[in-house]
């Protein structure tokens, strides 16, 4: 069969004076018609085992979307995640109940939107059959969507969006600006002792039920950012509405986009939800805006990848996690950060679930190595009613020395030293085995401990701006401070 374009698809002379956007649109639509003239490589469903569909005769690249059709039931969307010889492995994005052997498997049709005259570009067009494209744009602000860009908030269709591919070119590390400007998160302990920089990637490490979601909500309300993107990945379904209504509120929601892929979603959609939330943040960053990305949680993303990898036969490596899990984490995390040549930024917070409060959990250990800092939440502090339950001894911000003044940094170091001095001798003090006067440093720590503890605590509806917080920290540890916090 000839693959040459039909004569009627040659660019008409009447388009010669048309805007470049329409000429580009016509040429790409023409190329799509040419590609569609080749025989379509359909496949047949031959096996369904656990989470994986196997199809024979299908010729589709890894990552492409396919439609599985069986009888009169609604078609199932699936993604190609691997292949072996002439068999393709697909992960379904929906319920597989009712599928049977012999069902038809075909690449999903690509989406070609009509160009917008004022901002059309090559990215507005698709010519690769089955490549995933989801809505991005200003219309997502204030909305709640699922992993496929479908609205969950019952507010109708989403206007002012454009379908864009999820795969993006990696930014050259030399084209990124280093982290040099502090970011006010509104959380006293973080602003004072773990100061975050604009464009930093930081993890919140904790076991279940110690306040990770509440801390995320505090940062969503009080952080100085143009846009907030929240990815609720693999968490409890009830938390979605609670987070939006009780934590974000009307004011926070107006500048936020929430992507929800709860725990009962298929693993493919949970992974896709994390990628989609990151893509939304990237689209706003590319417009020069400063974005706060809150991902809850990175562990559930890794677990979804583990389910997929094990289902297609990848051998487990560390505590049941296949090697692909550890390869996927940096691919997701590295997409955030400062934009090209200082244009826009994504400051990202990823929650990491430490199973059994074990900080050496393989995912927690891998995440700590690829992130720019870690905030550890302590169950002991949470049980004592100390919120936010941030363990400042185990936590660190790797860019703090670049974004605060020398005086602020030295003051934070003094605070940590005094606080740690008391914690190391806590048992001796509480049982009365310590004799006052034996250690002047410990005497000072005992005298200041209550004030320092009160300084680190904060109500979830209380904001603590960066500038006054440093002066308050100086008072709590009985030090002089006359400088500027940044």
| DSSP secondary structure of 190-217 | HHHHSPEETT-EEEEEE-TTSSHHHHHH
Residues 397 and 424 both lie in one domain: no
> Domain for residue 32, yes or no?
no
Nearest to 363 by CA among 293, 316, 303, 313: 303
Average of per-residue pLDDT across 246-259:
83
**What are the distances in angstroms from CA 222 to CA 148, 248, 355, 358, 424?**
29, 10, 29, 30, 33
Average of per-residue pLDDT across 320-327:
90
Beta strands at 345-353 and 196-197: parallel, antiparallel or unpaired? unpaired
Residues 192 and 333 both lie in one domain: yes
For residue 26, what pLDDT is reported?
Answer: 65
**Number of domains within the chain:** 3
Distance CA 71, CA 383 (A): 56
- Residue whose structure tokens are 């919120």: 387
Average of per-residue pLDDT across 258-282:
93
> Domain for residue 77, yes or no?
yes
Residues 206 and 352 both lie in one domain: yes
Average of per-residue pLDDT across 154-180:
87
> Domain for residue 132, yes or no?
no
Q: Is the dihedral of CA 180, 181, 182, 185 positive or negative?
A: negative
Q: Please check the confidence at residue 337 and state whether its pLDDT lies above 70.
A: yes
Question: For residue 17, what is the DSSP state?
Answer: T
Distance CA 76, CA 89 (A): 14
When pLDDT is cut at 50, 70 and 90, the band that residue 471 belongs to is very high
Chain centre distance of CA 310: 23
Q: What is the CATH number of the domain that holds 390?
A: 3.40.50.12240
Q: What is the CATH number of the domain that holds 91?
A: 2.40.10.170
Residues 322 and 446 both lie in one domain: no
Residues 351 and 430 both lie in one domain: no
> Domain for residue 35, yes or no?
no
Residue 57, domain extent:
44-107
Which residues are CB-neighbours of 372 under 8 A, at least 6 positions away? 179, 197, 200, 201, 202, 397, 398, 399
The secondary structure element, H or E, covering residue 183 is strand 182-183
Average pLDDT, the chain: 84
Beta strands at 52-56 and 43-49: parallel, antiparallel or unpaired? antiparallel
> Are 128 and 35 within 8 A, CB to CB?
no
As given in the structure block, the two tokens for residue 278 are 């990151």
When pLDDT is cut at 50, 70 and 90, the band that residue 91 belongs to is very high
Residues 468 and 349 both lie in one domain: no
Distance CA 421, CA 442 (A): 6
Q: Please check the confidence at residue 276 and state whether its pLDDT lies above 70.
A: yes
Q: Please check the confidence at residue 30 and state whether its pLDDT lies above 80.
A: no
As given in the structure block, the two tokens for residue 71 are 């009888």
Residues 224 and 312 both lie in one domain: yes
Q: Please check the confidence at residue 1 and state whether its pLDDT lies above 70.
A: no
Last residue of a domain, one of 374, 403, 432: 403
Distance CA 44, CA 72 (A): 16
Question: Bigger pLDDT: 441 or 72?
Answer: 441
Highest mean pLDDT out of 59-63, 238-242, 463-467: 463-467
Residues 88 and 220 both lie in one domain: no
> Domain for residue 1, yes or no?
no
- Residue whose structure tokens are 């709860």: 262
When pLDDT is cut at 50, 70 and 90, the band that residue 115 belongs to is very low
**What are the distances in angstroms from CA 22 to CA 8, 42, 160, 348?**
17, 32, 19, 37
Residues 418 and 365 both lie in one domain: no
Q: Please check the confidence at residue 33 and state whether its pLDDT lies above 70.
A: no
Q: Please check the confidence at residue 167 and state whether its pLDDT lies above 90.
A: no
> Domain for residue 277, yes or no?
yes
For residue 5, what pLDDT is reported?
Answer: 41
Percent share of the chain, pLDDT over 70: 85
Residues 306 and 375 both lie in one domain: yes
When pLDDT is cut at 50, 70 and 90, the band that residue 71 belongs to is confident
Residues 381 and 275 both lie in one domain: yes
> C-alpha angle 272/276/277, rounded to 5°?
120
Nearest to 258 by CA among 214, 227, 224: 227
When pLDDT is cut at 50, 70 and 90, the band that residue 105 belongs to is very high
308-320: pLDDT as tens digits = 999 888 898 888 8
As given in the structure block, the two tokens for residue 320 are 């049941």
> Domain for residue 115, yes or no?
no
> Domain for residue 84, yes or no?
yes
Residues 277 and 181 both lie in one domain: yes
When pLDDT is cut at 50, 70 and 90, the band that residue 72 belongs to is confident
For residue 482, what pLDDT is reported?
Answer: 67
Last residue of a domain, one of 403, 427, 444: 403
Q: What is the CATH number of the domain that holds 424?
A: 1.20.1270.330
Average of per-residue pLDDT across 196-213:
90
Distance CA 222, CA 83 (A): 47
The secondary structure element, H or E, covering residue 366 is helix 362-370
352-385: pLDDT as tens digits = 988 766 667 889 999 999 999 999 999 999 999 9
454-467: pLDDT as tens digits = 999 999 889 999 98
Last residue of a domain, one of 358, 378, 403: 403
């Amino acid at each position: 069969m000839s693959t040459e374009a039909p004569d009627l698809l040659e660019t008409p002379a009447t388009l010669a004076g048309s805007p470049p956007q329409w000429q580009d649109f016509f040429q790409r639509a023409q190329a799509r018609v040419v590609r569609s003239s080749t025989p379509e490589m359909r496949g047949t469903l031959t096996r369904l085992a656990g989470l994986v569909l196997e199809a024979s005769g299908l010729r589709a690249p890894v990552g492409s979307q396919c439609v599985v059709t069986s009888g009169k039931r609604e078609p199932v969307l699936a993604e190609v995640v691997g292949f072996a010889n002439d068999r393709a492995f697909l992960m379904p994005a929906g319920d597989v109940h009712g599928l049977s052997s012999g069902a038809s498997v075909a690449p999903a049709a690509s989406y070609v939107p009509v160009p917008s005259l004022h901002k059309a570009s090559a990215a507005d067009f698709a010519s690769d059959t089955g490549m995933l494209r989801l809505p991005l744009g200003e219309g997502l602000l204030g909305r709640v969507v699922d992993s496929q860009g479908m609205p969950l908030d019952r507010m109708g269709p989403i206007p002012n969006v454009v379908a864009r591919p999820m795969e993006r070119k990696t930014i050259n590390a030399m084209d990124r600006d280093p982290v040099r400007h502090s970011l006010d998160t509104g959380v006293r302990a973080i602003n004072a002792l773990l100061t975050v920089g604009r464009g930093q990637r930081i993890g919140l490490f904790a076991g279940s039920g110690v306040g990770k979601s509440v801390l995320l909500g505090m940062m969503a309300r009080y952080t100085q950012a143009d846009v907030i993107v929240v990815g609720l990945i693999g968490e409890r379904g009830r938390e979605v509405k609670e987070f939006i209504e009780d934590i974000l509120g009307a004011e926070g929601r107006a500048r936020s986009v929430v992507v929800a892929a709860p725990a009962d979603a298929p693993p493919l959609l949970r992974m896709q939800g994390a990628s989609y939330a990151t893509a939304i943040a990237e689209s706003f960053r590319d417009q020069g805006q400063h974005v706060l990305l809150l991902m809850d949680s990175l562990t559930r993303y890794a677990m979804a990848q583990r389910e997929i990898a094990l289902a297609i036969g990848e051998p487990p490596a560390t505590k049941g996690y296949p090697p692909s899990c550890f390869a996927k984490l940096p691919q997701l995390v590295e997409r955030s950060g400062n934009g090209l040549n200082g244009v826009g930024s994504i400051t990202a917070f990823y929650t990491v679930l430490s199973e059994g409060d074990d900080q050496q959990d393989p995912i927690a250990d891998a995440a700590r190595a690829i992130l720019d800092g870690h905030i550890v939440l302590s169950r002991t502090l949470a049980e004592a009613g100390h919120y936010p339950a941030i363990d400042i001894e185990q936590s660190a911000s790797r860019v703090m020395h670049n974004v605060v003044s020398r005086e602020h940094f030295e003051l934070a170091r003094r605070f940590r030293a005094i606080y740690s001095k008391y914690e190391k001798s806590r048992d001796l003090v509480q049982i009365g085995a310590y004799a006052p006067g034996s250690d002047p440093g410990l005497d000072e720590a005992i005298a200041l401990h209550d004030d320092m503890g009160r300084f680190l605590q904060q109500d979830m509806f209380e904001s603590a701006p960066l500038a006054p917080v440093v002066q308050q920290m100086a008072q709590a540890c009985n030090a002089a401070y006359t400088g500027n916090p940044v």
